[in-house]
A and B are shown apart, each in its own frame.
Chain A
Amino acid sequence: MDLELNFEISRTAEFILSRNFTRVALQFPDDLLKHSTKVVTCLRNKLGSGNKVGLFVMADTTFGSCCVDEVGASHIGADCVIHYGHTCLSPTSTLPAFCVFGKASINISCCVEKLSSYFRTNGKPIVVLYGLGYAHAISQIKRALEEAMPKTKMELIFSDVMCSIINPLEDHRKSDGLEGCLGTYSSENSLGSGTRYSLGGLTWDLPEGQRMEDYLLLWIGPENSAFSNAVLTFNGCEIVRYDATEDQLVTDVSQQKRILKRRYYLVERAKDANMVGILVGTLGVAGYLHMIHQMKELIMLAGKKAYTLVMGRPNPSKLANFPECDVFIYVSCAQTALLDSKEFLAPVITPFEAMLAFSSGSQWTGTYVLEFRDLISSSQLEVSKRPEEARFSFLKGGYVEDFEPQENGDEDNDSTLALANATEKALQLRDRDPGSLVKGTVKSGAEFFVTRSYHGLETHANSSSPEPYLIGRSGKASGYEDERSEPELGSN
């Protein structure tokens, strides 16, 4: 592999030198980590031995490796991050970042041949999106495609990579300020008529009066989270994917469409939740704090209880430690947001889905938003008036009562009654059958703990005689000492 070319060593060096960075963090995803030492050597050579730029390799990113790990970088006091590999190009909040997408190999002539033959049969205008790894070849593909189909008056829109440099946002609280994070390209927003779309670091313009549904979406690249992101966001479009490694067109995206239905189910399920865990899944994506606050507010307004949990990448056993939560909201960058495994005890949903689920009156219309900035700008929280109708739960197949949102405030306003209320609640809880662990009846973590059947060590009331002294097993549960020999016995 040509290191220099693939890792864009000279561009990187230029970037570092031009902005006079002195401490630079190099963030590698797991699959590229093996090249890190060589990259560092090359880069150091390029920067010149006299230069005192500190280069640090960062690996094992806390959250998704597609996001810039600002917290990791700030540990070493870095003033910029060079991000390698697949990225979601989510805006950062404090540090500037330079993204090296890498160059995935693609056979341009094969690709163009496949595409043009497909396009001839399909009359729709086309929008071309691609995995960032193929960004390097796009201009060639574009030229070749235009040559291959000179006569057809096909409308062909190629998306552009926004920028490989991410500049931090000064005030990410302002939702309109978020556009600044689009970097150098943002200034061009006003140019040209029509609608500007952006997704996962790609931007493109549609002529005025056209909707995405009128276009055929072509995706060049492997089937990864970026692709699912595109499929979900533009679920109304016809989508084909060109797989460069297999050299074939994949027109069947039913698997992805199925994901959408599954998400719909999760939203319905979230509506029935009483307690919600907010999982912090990023510390880098601009606006994440804002989003967490927004979520908390939303949940409170819906009369539910929110707990904020910070953990690394969530997995079933981590989340099962919080069985009191009926649903988790995963606040993270767009491309890691979709966590769906049947192994999770409670569903994990995205902030957008949470908004659908918890704001009364909102409906699942098919539009799907994954990125924060679209979310924050799209739906400002409005204090909804009390709904006319009780909420209908499709999981229970009937009306369910939602806890009155005012209830939380009640006790503060009515301090004289607070004690009485609290006692009343406690008495009700005692009344409940301790053996039954029906989830969804409790409203807060504390109440949940009360309903647990085990409250700590208990003394055996009926056996007063002392227990005999026994020698237990020693070692670890993953393999006790008396078990060590067993496999050997087996081999004999």
Chain B
Amino acid sequence: MAAKHQPDLIMCRKQPGIAIGRLCEKCDGKCVICDSLVRPCTLVRIKFTAEELRAIMGRKHNIRNMSVIGHVDHGKSALTDSLVAAAGIIAQEVAGDVRMTDTRADEAERGITIKSTGISLYYEMTDESLKSYKGERQGNEYLINLIDSPGHVDFSSEVTAALRITDGALVVVDCIEGVYMQTETVLRQSLGERIRPVLTVNKMDRCFLELQVDGEEAYRLFQRVIENANVIMATYEDPLLGNVQVYPEKGTVAFSAGLHGWAFTLTNFAKLYASKFGVDEGTMMERLWGENFFDPATKKWTTKNTGSASCKRGFVQFCYEPIKQIINACMNDEKDKLWPILNKLQVTMKSDDKELMGKALMKRVMQTWLPASSALLEMMIFHLPSPSKAQKYRVENLYEGPLDDMYANAIRNCDPEGPLMLYVSKMIPASDKGRFFAFGRVFSGKVSTGLKVRIMGPNYVPGEKKDLYVKSVQRTVIWMGNKQETVEDVPCGNTVAMVGLDQFITKNATLTNEKEVDAHPIRAMKFSVSPVVRVAVQCTVASDLPKLVEGLKRLVKSDPMVSCYIEESGVHIVAGVGELHLEICLKDLQEDFMNGTGIIRSDPVVSYRETVLERSCRTVMSKSPNKHNRLYMEARPLEEGLVEAIDDGRIGPRDDPENRSKILAKEYGWDKDLAKKIWCFGPDTTGPNVVIDMCKGVQYPNEIKDAVVAGFQWASKEGALAEENMRGICFEFCDVVLHADAIHRGGGQIIPTARRVFYAAQLTAKPRLLEPVYLVEIQAPEQALGGIYSVLNKKRGHVFEEMQRPGTPLYNIKAYLPVFESFGFSSTLRAATSGQAFPQCVFDHWDMMPSDPLEFGSLAAAHVADIRCWKGLREEMNPLSVYEDRK
């Protein structure tokens, strides 16, 4: 389809804020109001309509679904702006400052992204720019469904949700700060989801303006960033995805300055110089990176620095220096020097742009010369996969059912005529309070307004009716910039928002056609963080409880990671990833979801786990209430690594027993027969505690198995110390004496007794408390280190890595910090380092508290007392004698 000649609106530069100009290739390039020349662009920008967008949605080869990911404050949202600006949604001039995708007031206020925001952009590329594109395409129009994601660890669940529905990722890394913890986390996640990454080395302006490093030094800086990223990518490489490492010379790395709206890939420069050197662009690109040196004096390329003063690395000679020259010329207002260079580069500035001075001039010049959007777009279109390409290999990650059924095939082929398979990854609050859009990705088929869909929730089991609803989609909506447009239908390969399903989807779900009863759901997302910090909330006025209940319900939906539940004591709990996450959640709860109704929040509390240190000092016995049955039990800690294996689902209740015993015997040194005698896992039948039947010569221990298992689920959920979950305890069921008469050994006798004997075994095996521990990464200059160490010491934290970032004055510190001590950590740290240190905390592992919780006055005992108090339990825990019966 040929692009319609439909001029695009553009902001008038003389009367800011009013869109009055029109611009496109066929116009004269002048603003209709002020008659100033608007720069001609390489992209033909067309203000797109919903119809055009819908038309392109059907062309699966011309779609790119991508997320922008990276560490906090590396400039993701600013960079996104450039892309949005190129699509004509915001003016080029303000790109980088608006942060269009930070739609919430608190996002703008804090300067960080909190929720990921999706936006559909429509571009038409010129034939010229696409001529070297080898892949399949249908016309020059491209649709980019872009999701800007938050970089703060507390919101990394948003990243997970974004990655699921995209096929490619633009990884943004600060050229000076380099690859950080969160960069690694998001990279790992994206590769786990089989998302192909491209990299942009961002904040180039810092090199020129802030650090003023010379070319060679800058090159090393960039190379290190790219290398570090490649190391991570190599670690998580996946044969199906192929080589995912990024190379500047292949065009998969861009260099950008999001704030100033310019960026380039080596392609830009290769095009410029290729003809000059009489080589093709590919060869030129290779010369522009790596160990390639050029000496203008001899006009020769070498692979080593010849030592001559004029011999410089290709990148430095042809990319870095020209940019530096122009920037310096702009900043120093040396316009007489500037214009000739620009002329040579064939960059035409508009007359009134020429009036600008200093930084503003620099920004304008660079935007005109190297517009960020075209470099990034080209990189995305050339190097990120289209849905039809990506779904071929992603189907294995996505689909839970057999990979040869019709649903798997439809996903694999991205078949618009196939059955509907749609994954809802996120719920987005709609403008009418209390309602939500279900936002997701169509993997196959089409979703249309009025379609009746089967909603398979996270607990749906094929063939059962659990967690399954059939409802109709009221409206299908796409985001065009900042406004929503209703469309008739959305075919596969696209992101979509749906109205009318929010009352049946908590956080995510798989949708399919009403009739497709055999479809298996799409695999649930795996998050890299877990909610370990919790607060109790209650209303200021008791009668507002229904409002609170309604509010919590909405809160749960609005965030992929927050969880709301009721404690045994009847208080409502909101659990989140970290302090910031909770703060945002509670603010949303009160202001958005409860219309400002007063709530009282408790101080944050941490969840703990209970474990044991050693084998029980003796076999403990408990008698049933009627004294006619006895259970004998011992507890011991599970082997190291086994707990994590159970957590990861490598070992679980649904394993084939043969297989399981093989793993247990090989990796953890279990006796083969013993491994077959695992009765159950718990809590919730999958948790990291096990019961093993060690009885010898007992005729029918299976008779009471169900009752013991029931008692175990109960006991492992509420341990003897503080009624926290147990973790890493192996209970060995040693012996049992049962009454001869079945009526006296029923569940009523066995279940409570089993619970007691589990507790007794736990208490005799040196019970210990496990507390959650954060991995903290702090970046700070040297003079702040002292403050960091003293704060960490006070907070029971310990540093295990301290490293200077090569080429920068910054230090990178990694430490473990108990979550319990992390409340107020950021502010204390900022105070102690006069604002120079910013920590990023992410849950890392459970750590055993060394002190004995049974010993009065120990730290662990104090924690136990606190938890019990918060739960409204009796302050002292029950003594062993309550659980154990001695003859």
Contact = CB atoms under 8 A, between A and B. Distances in A.
A482 B545 CA distance: 61
Could you say which of A323, A397, A431 has the most chain B C-beta atoms within 10 Å of its C-beta? A397
Given A437-B680, A454-B702, A390 B469 contact: yes
A38 interface: no
Contacts of B887: 483, 486-487
A435 B653 contact: yes
A362 to B, nearest CB: 10
- The 3 A-B residue pairs with the shortest CB-CB distance, nearest first, are A261-B570, A321-B748, A398-B506
B801 interface: no
B556 interface: yes
A452 to B, nearest CB: 5
A26 B783 CA distance: 87
B566 A398 contact: no
A452 B702 CA distance: 10
Given A265-B568, A268-B566, A435-B680, A457 B625 contact: no
Contacts of A457: 700
A394 B747 contact: no
A10 interface: no
A185 B321 CA distance: 103
B566 A321 contact: no
Contacts of A483: 887
Given A258-B569, A268-B566, A399-B504, A364 B545 contact: yes
B705 interface: yes
Nearest to B754: A320
Given A345-B751, A363-B549, A486-B887, A437 B706 contact: yes
Interface in A91-135: none
B548 to A, nearest CB: 10
Nearest to A401: B467
A321 B545 contact: no
A168 B30 CA distance: 98
Interface in A274-312: none
A394 B565 contact: yes
5 contacts: A265-B566, A317-B752, A319-B748, A364-B549, A439-B710
A235 B545 CA distance: 14
B92 interface: no
A385 B769 CA distance: 49
B377 interface: no
A439 B751 CA distance: 14
B710 A437 contact: yes
A390 B545 contact: no
A204 B710 CA distance: 48
A52 interface: no
Contacts of B469: 390, 401
A258 B714 CA distance: 23
A316 B752 contact: yes
Interface string A438-454: 11010000000000111
Given A262-B568, A394-B572, A453 B630 contact: no
Given A317-B625, A401-B465, A454-B706, 11 more contacts: A261-B872, A262-B568, A262-B570, A316-B625, A317-B749, A320-B752, A394-B552, A394-B564, A436-B685, A452-B706, A454-B705
Interface string A215-242: 0000000000000000000011000000
Contacts of A316: 625, 748, 752
A321 B747 contact: yes
Interface residues of A, number: 59
Interface in A410-459: 428, 431, 433, 435-439, 441, 452-454, 457-458
Interface string A309-343: 00000011111111100000000000000000011
A452 B707 CA distance: 10
A238 B405 CA distance: 66
Interface string B559-602: 00001111111111000000000000000000000000000000
A476 B571 CA distance: 46
Contact of B707 (A258, A260, A323, A433): A323
B714 A265 contact: no
Interface residues of B, number: 67
A373 interface: no
A427 to B, nearest CB: 9
Q: Which of A236, A390, A477 has the most CB of B within 10 A?
A: A477
A477 B752 contact: no
A265 B700 CA distance: 38
A452 B552 CA distance: 37
B623 interface: yes
Contacts of B709: 437
Contacts of B570: 258, 260-265
Contacts of A486: 887
Contacts of B654: 433, 436
B467 A400 contact: yes
B86 to A, nearest CB: 40
A398 B749 CA distance: 34
Contacts of B751: 320, 323, 345
A366 B545 CA distance: 8
Main secondary structure on A side of the interface with B: loop
Contacts of B623: 477-478
Interface stretch (B212-220, B456-464, B642-650): B456-464
Contact of B746 (A260, A321, A343, A438): A321
Contacts of B200: none
B667 interface: no
Most buried by A among B468, B566, B653: B566
B702 A478 contact: no
A264, A320, A454 pick with most chain B CB within 10 angstroms: A320
A37 interface: no
A388 B471 CA distance: 11
Nearest to B506: A398
A453 B702 contact: yes
A2 interface: no
B805 interface: no
A287 B567 CA distance: 34
Contacts of A390: 469, 503-504
B297 interface: no
B504 A389 contact: yes
A472 B353 CA distance: 103
A187 interface: no
Nearest to B509: A399
A398 B706 contact: no
Given A398-B507, A428-B464, A262 B748 contact: no
Interface in B461-519: 463-469, 503-507
Contact of B739 (A319, A431, A477): A477
B629 interface: yes
A392 interface: yes
B76 to A, nearest CB: 30
A436 B465 contact: no
Contacts of B503: 388-390, 399
Contacts of B749: 317, 320
A395 interface: yes
Nearest to A433: B654
Contact of B565 (A258, A395, A401, A476): A395
A342 B868 CA distance: 14
A365 interface: yes
Contact of A397 (B504, B564, B752): B564
A145 to B, nearest CB: 30
A320 B629 contact: no
Contact of B702 (A315, A365, A458): A458
B506 A477 contact: no
A438 B467 contact: no
A321 B624 CA distance: 13
A361 B630 CA distance: 47
Contact of A431 (B463, B466, B571, B748): B463
Contacts of A454: 700, 702-706
A386 to B, nearest CB: 12
Given A454-B703, A457-B700, A345 B545 contact: no
Contacts of A403: 465
